[in-house]
Amino acid sequence: MTEPSQKGAGPLVLVVDDEPQIRRFLKTGFEMQGYRIAEAETAKQALELAVMRRPDLVVLDLGLPDADGASVLEALRGWFQGAVIVLSVRSSEEEKVALLEKGADDYVVKPFGMAELLARARVVLRRIALPGAAEPVLRVGGLTVDLARRLVSLDGVPVVLSPKQFALLRVLGAHHGKVLTHRQLMKELWPQDPDEDVQYLRILMKKLRDKIEPDPARPAYLVTELAIGYRLRTQEQLDAVGYAQAMR
Amino acid sequence: MTARIDLLAYLKAAGLVAVATVPAVILVVLTPLESVSAIYMLPGLVAAVWYGTGPAVAAAVLGAVVTSLFYPPLFSIEVVRPSQIVDLVISLIVALTIGRLAGHLRAQMLRVREDERQVRQLYGLSSEIAGAGDVAAIYDIVAAHMAEALAREVVLFAASGGQSWQAIGHPAAAMPPVVLSEAARSFAEARGQPGSLDVAVADLPTGGRWLLCGLGKPGPLQAVLAVAMGGDSHDPSGEIVASARSILEEGARSLERLGLTRALEERQLRQRTDALRDILMESVSHELRTPLASILGSASVLATAPAVSAEPRLSDLSKAIASEAGRLDRRIQNLLDVTRIRAGALQPRFDAVDPADIVNGALDSTVERLAGRKILLALGRDLPFVRVDPVLVEQALINILENAAKFAPDAAPITIGASVRGGRLAIEVRDEGPGLDRRESEQIFERFHRGERHADIAGGSGLGLSIAKTFVEANGGSIEPLSEGPGKGTTMRIWLPPAPLRRAREGDDD
């Protein structure tokens, strides 16, 4: 677990939700982990507080009384450098894709446990704490990716990837732990025709998994977010899903 | 009645001749007039205009006779001079011709007036009907107009479910004879056959003579109008039948229009219902799930609190609260899914998907619920992509997995496989549970079905498999339950349609 702060002044989280009970448990949950909290009930309040308090993370509910979450996100993304995690409802994959492409760093589907949200928060906050490129060397389970030297190994054994396969791994590694939508990946990988069939991306992903996943049938590192995109798990995310337990 | 009116007209014509005699006598006395024949043409003309051709002819003949009285010798019908005879004959011919012409004119005028009256009546009928909101009101209006236009008693019969036909709008004391309603019924039934008449005469031995008119489009009738013809032994005149028909046509058109209006109203009602259902679903979804999100979230915070996590019994409790809240949330989702299915609001978003992604997604979603279970994964390598909505198929698979976990003994593994069979992709979930007999294989997908043999071991609403089946079928696939019999486990096989084949793009490999 990341220690939020040494000085008792942990990262500031702005919780935006019109339900007091939800704000209450979020406040307690975050404060127990050393975060500081600011609360907003409306979109208007949220934007004001974001300007005044400059939070490190905004936890944004989509069902606000005075505006939809997407417009708040757009207003924030004009100038706001911190992270945004969206609280979404189920069965709205389109909406999630749209929000991710508008600059949300991640989403959590309601109802959710505090541990899940805290894990997401740590990932997005760490990414923001490292400005510019991601860590030069990524380690997840037995997978090691040296982005600068373009070296990949699995359990210490070097793996040879095609340039395109490495490009996919690099893009996901640059946003380590974050879900990237199909379209975002297509744009990075095939900048000249990002509207090509997503199936090419899926085929590429399948081949990449065949090379770097210990069990390609049950990917542990490169995971699919159905109907949304892909994510390269961090070590923490990998531990959290309790893979070994489920697959025992 | 008509005979008496005619007689009166003839008498009046004679009266006119008598009246004309007054100026004739005055003229003959005051001036040395050769003939008064011109004066006696006037009564014929007037009679023709007022009373028609017959009285006009009578007036002309009478006038001629009286004229002859005025020839010298006065007041004798004896005609003496040839000139007088010529005068008499010519004046008679002129009077008769004028009378006939005027009579024709009058008849034409009367016809125009009658037409006008009918048009006005139909106009009144249609404007009154336009305001009618339902079938019964149209029946009443048509019957009232028929009674007024034909100046006869009209009895309205309407089908009131099944075989019974009832007179509408009659007090019990003045009910029309039963034989009449019988006649109306058989007339209505005959109208269902091709080539039948829209109007018929019923001669009832005990109930008099009635003109029966069918109201409505050709085909089985909903209403019959019976027009009393009284003791008249002739067939009803063409005028009455024509008049009745024009009223019936107007009524039939209105009924048809009302049918269209009703269809329109029903569609609007349906749209309003749909909108209402969407609002309701959204509201149920929000109202029930928001507190659940608070409960689950709060419990998850409690579980991590040092005081609670140090005490296993307490942390178990808070975990139980969280997992039960999650279960309730899934139940609500099931109900919402069923509502969506029933409303026909299921719209798959098709995409070419790696079936392994769907299987893994379902496994990830059920990690907690299947914790402690042995799961065997047997996905073939290089599975072809399928063309489905991955979210719907994932949900179907989750429901099937939960079902398997519910029925199979805890120690027994659940096997998930995916393979190509006969060119199609099949995902299989196999459990070592109680299995299925033939009847159960047919019933398990029914909504709210819970097997009798399994009732004691399984909780749940019985919606899961029904939803799974609907979701898979919405994706162009099917689910097949396979079991070698009771006690031998169950395999759920999901067939999914393949996606068009694509190879990796050039340069993407190596």
Angle between helices B464-474 and B390-407 (to 10 degrees): 150
Side-chain half-sphere CA neighbours of B444 within 13 A: 25
User: Which residues from chain B sit within 8 angstroms of residue A21, using beta carbons?
Assistant: 290-291, 294, 298
Nearest CA in chain B to A199: B352
Tracing tokens 């009679």 back to the chain, one arrives at: B47
Residue A209 to residue B221: CA distance in whole angstroms: 73
Say if B164 falls within a structural domain: yes
Q: What are phi and psi of A117, to 5 degrees?
A: -65, -40
Is B324 an 8 Å CB contact of chain A? no
Query: Do the chains contact at A224 and B505, CB–CB below 8 Å?
Result: no
Query: Confidence band (pLDDT; 50, 70, 90) for B506?
Result: low
Query: Confidence band (pLDDT; 50, 70, 90) for B465?
Result: confident
Rounded mean pLDDT of B364-390? Answer: 86
Residues 6+ positions from B266 with CB-CB distance below 8 Å: none
**Which SS3 state, helix, strand or coil, does residue B371 take?**
coil
User: Which residues from chain B sit within 8 angstroms of residue A163, using beta carbons?
Assistant: 507
Residue A195 to residue B65: CA distance in whole angstroms: 113
Highest mean pLDDT among B9-13, B191-195, B435-439 belongs to: B9-13
Say if B256 falls within a structural domain: no
Is B234 an 8 Å CB contact of chain A? no
Structure tokens at B281: 């679903």
Quick one: B114 and B137 in the same domain?
no
Say if B73 falls within a structural domain: yes
User: Which residues from chain B sit within 8 angstroms of residue A207, using beta carbons?
Assistant: 504, 508-509
Tracing tokens 């699995």 back to the chain, one arrives at: A154
Quick one: B95 and B166 in the same domain?
no
Say if B241 falls within a structural domain: no
Q: Which of B409, B330, B419 is nearest to B366 (CA)?
A: B330
So what's the architecture of A137-246 in CATH?
A: Orthogonal Bundle (1.10)
Task: Measure in Å the smallest separation between the Cα of A78 and chain B Cα atoms.
Answer: 30
Query: Do the chains contact at B377 and A218, CB–CB below 8 Å?
Result: yes
Which fold, A12-129?
Rossmann fold (3.40.50)
* B68 vs B109: which has the higher pLDDT: B109
- The domain total for chain B is 4
Is B296 an 8 Å CB contact of chain A? yes
Angle between helices A182-189 and A198-212 (to 10 degrees): 80
Task: Give the per-residue pLDDT at A231.
Answer: 94
Residue A71 to residue A64: CA distance in whole angstroms: 11
Q: B204 pairs with which residues across the strands?
A: B208
The answer to whether the beta carbons of residues B13 and B53 sit under 8 Å apart is: no
Torsion of CA B474, B475, B476, B477, to 10 degrees: -100
CB count within 10 Å of CB B278 equals 14
Pick from A29, A207, A226: CB nearest B301: A29
Interface test with B, best of A114, A165, A247 (most B CBs within 10 A): A114
* B180 vs A219: which has the higher pLDDT: A219
Residues 6+ positions from B30 with CB-CB distance below 8 Å: none
* B291 vs B88: which has the higher pLDDT: B291
Pick from A164, A198, A207: CB nearest B507: A164
Structure tokens at B51: 């009373």
Query: Confidence band (pLDDT; 50, 70, 90) for B335?
Result: confident
Q: Which of A111, A183, A93, A26 is nearest to B285 (CA)?
A: A111
ipTM value: 0.85
Which of B68, B98, B126 is the last residue before a domain boundary? Answer: B126
Rounded mean pLDDT of B297-326? Answer: 89
Quick one: B173 and B275 in the same domain?
no
Structure tokens at A56: 């490190």
Task: Give the per-residue pLDDT at A135.
Answer: 65
**Which SS3 state, helix, strand or coil, does residue A13 take?**
strand
Task: Give the per-residue pLDDT at B220.
Answer: 60
Question: Where in chain A do CATH 1.10.10.10 domains reside?
Answer: 137-246
The answer to whether the beta carbons of residues A107 and A85 sit under 8 Å apart is: yes
Structure tokens at B377: 């994964």
Q: What are phi and psi of A68, to 5 degrees?
A: -85, 155
Residue B326 to residue B320: CA distance in whole angstroms: 10
- pLDDT mean across residues, chain B: 79
Side-chain half-sphere CA neighbours of B161 within 13 A: 0
Quick one: B359 and B470 in the same domain?
yes
Quick one: B397 and B484 in the same domain?
yes
**Which SS3 state, helix, strand or coil, does residue B239 take?**
helix
Quick one: B46 and B170 in the same domain?
no
Q: For residue range B400-414, what is the model confidence (pLDDT) as tens digits? A: 998 888 887 888 889
Pick from A203, A217, A247: CB nearest B356: A217
Quick one: B382 and B330 in the same domain?
no
Pick from A93, A202, A217: CB nearest B385: A202
* A192 vs B71: which has the higher pLDDT: A192
Whether the model pTM is above 0.90: no
Tell me whether residue B41 is exposed, middle or buried, using C-beta atoms within 10 angstroms of its C-beta: 0 to 12, 13 to 18, 19 or more.
buried
Q: For residue range B30-44, what is the model confidence (pLDDT) as tens digits? A: 776 666 777 887 887
**Which SS3 state, helix, strand or coil, does residue A85 take?**
strand
Q: Mark A105-117 as b/e (b = at least 16 C-beta within 10 Å).
A: bbbbebbbbbeeb
| Radius of gyration from C-alpha coordinates of chain B | 47
Query: Do the chains contact at A25 and B301, CB–CB below 8 Å?
Result: yes
One pLDDT digit (tens) per residue for chain A, 248 residues: 444 444 457 899 999 999 999 999 999 999 999 999 999 999 999 999 999 999 999 999 988 888 887 888 999 988 998 999 999 876 678 888 989 999 999 999 888 999 889 989 998 998 777 765 556 788 999 999 998 889 999 999 999 999 999 999 999 998 888 899 999 999 999 988 877 788 889 999 999 999 999 988 889 999 999 989 999 998 888 887 764 443 33
Query: Do the chains contact at B293 and A111, CB–CB below 8 Å?
Result: yes
Say if B506 falls within a structural domain: no
Quick one: B66 and B149 in the same domain?
no
Residues 6+ positions from B452 with CB-CB distance below 8 Å: none
Quick one: B335 and B373 in the same domain?
no
User: Which residues from chain A sit within 8 angstroms of residue B351, using beta carbons?
Assistant: 198, 227
Is B379 an 8 Å CB contact of chain A? yes
Q: For residue range B232-256, what is the model confidence (pLDDT) as tens digits? A: 555 667 777 777 888 888 787 777 7
Q: Which of B10-24, B72-86, B261-275 has the weakest average pLDDT? A: B72-86
Query: Do the chains contact at A112 and B361, CB–CB below 8 Å?
Result: no
Query: Do the chains contact at B290 and A22, CB–CB below 8 Å?
Result: yes
Rounded mean pLDDT of B345-363? Answer: 89
Q: For residue range B131-150, what is the model confidence (pLDDT) as tens digits? A: 777 777 778 888 888 888 77
Nearest CA in chain A to B384: A203
Residue B458 belongs to domain with CATH number: 3.30.565.10
Nearest CA in chain B to A109: B293
One DSSP character per residue, A115-144 reads HHHHHHHHHHHHHHHS-SS--SEEEETTEE
Q: What are phi and psi of B358, to 5 degrees?
A: -65, -45
Residue A154 to residue A212: CA distance in whole angstroms: 6
Tell me whether residue A145 is exposed, middle or buried, using C-beta atoms within 10 angstroms of its C-beta: 0 to 12, 13 to 18, 19 or more.
buried
Task: Give the per-residue pLDDT at B374.
Answer: 87
Residue B163 to residue B206: CA distance in whole angstroms: 23
Q: What are phi and psi of A41, to 5 degrees?
A: -100, -25
User: Which residues from chain B sit within 8 angstroms of residue A112, using beta carbons?
Assistant: 293, 296-297, 300
Q: Which of residues 469-508 of B touch A (CB under 8 A)?
A: 499, 502-505, 507-508
Residue B67 to residue B37: CA distance in whole angstroms: 5
Residue A106 to residue A96: CA distance in whole angstroms: 9
CB count within 10 Å of CB B502 equals 13
Pick from B363, B379, B504: CB nearest A207: B504
| Whole-number percent of chain B with pLDDT over 90 | 12
Query: Do the chains contact at A219 and B329, CB–CB below 8 Å?
Result: no
Q: CA dist A134 to A5, A147, A178, A189, A223, Å? A: 21, 9, 12, 18, 19
Pick from B290, B296, B508: CB nearest A19: B290
User: Which residues from chain B sit within 8 angstroms of residue A199, using beta carbons?
Assistant: 352, 385, 499, 502
Residue B87 to residue B89: CA distance in whole angstroms: 6
Query: Do the chains contact at A114 and B297, CB–CB below 8 Å?
Result: yes
Pick from A22, A164, A197: CB nearest B502: A197
Say if B96 falls within a structural domain: yes
| Radius of gyration from C-alpha coordinates of chain A | 19
One DSSP character per residue, B76-128 reads ------HHHHHHHHHHHHHHHHHHHHHHHHHHHHHHHHHHHHHHHHHHHHHHH
Task: Measure in Å the smallest separation between the Cα of B488 and chain A Cα atoms.
Answer: 24
Which of B283, B311, B345 is the last residue before a domain boundary? Answer: B345
Pick from B286, B295, B354: CB nearest A202: B354
Pick from A113, A164, A199: CB nearest B296: A113
Residue A240 to residue B506: CA distance in whole angstroms: 38
Is B298 an 8 Å CB contact of chain A? yes
* A219 vs B58: which has the higher pLDDT: A219
Quick one: B139 and B43 in the same domain?
no
- CA–chain centroid gap for B85, Å, is 78
C-alpha dihedral sign at A41, A45, A50, A53: negative
Say if B176 falls within a structural domain: yes
The answer to whether the beta carbons of residues B28 and B76 sit under 8 Å apart is: no
C-alpha dihedral sign at B369, B363, B330, B285: positive
CB count within 10 Å of CB B379 equals 19
Rounded mean pLDDT of B428-457? Answer: 70
Query: Do the chains contact at B357 and A113, CB–CB below 8 Å?
Result: no
Quick one: B59 and B145 in the same domain?
no
Residues 6+ positions from A3 with CB-CB distance below 8 Å: A34
Tell me whether residue B40 is exposed, middle or buried, using C-beta atoms within 10 angstroms of its C-beta: 0 to 12, 13 to 18, 19 or more.
buried
Interface test with A, best of B284, B290, B334 (most A CBs within 10 A): B290
Q: Is the pLDDT of residue B385 over 70?
A: yes
Say if B448 falls within a structural domain: yes
Between the two ends of chain B, the Cα-to-Cα distance in Å is 113
Residues 6+ positions from B490 with CB-CB distance below 8 Å: B404, B407, B430, B431, B433, B434, B435, B436, B481, B482, B483
Q: Is the pLDDT of residue B382 over 50?
A: yes
User: Which residues from chain A sit within 8 angstroms of residue B297, using beta carbons?
Assistant: 22, 25-26, 29, 111-114
User: Which residues from chain B sit within 8 angstroms of residue A242, using beta carbons?
Assistant: 367, 371
Q: Which of B468, B474, B467, B457 is nearest to B492 (CA)?
A: B468
Tracing tokens 């990830």 back to the chain, one arrives at: B364
Query: Do the chains contact at B298 and A218, CB–CB below 8 Å?
Result: no
Quick one: B355 and B490 in the same domain?
yes
Rounded mean pLDDT of B415-444? Answer: 84
Pick from B286, B356, B509: CB nearest A207: B509
Question: Where in chain A do CATH 3.40.50.2300 domains reside?
Answer: 12-129
Q: For residue range B265-281, what is the model confidence (pLDDT) as tens digits? A: 777 887 788 778 777 77
Domain with B109 in it: 2-126
Q: Which of A39, A66, A25, A93 is nearest to B291 (CA)?
A: A25
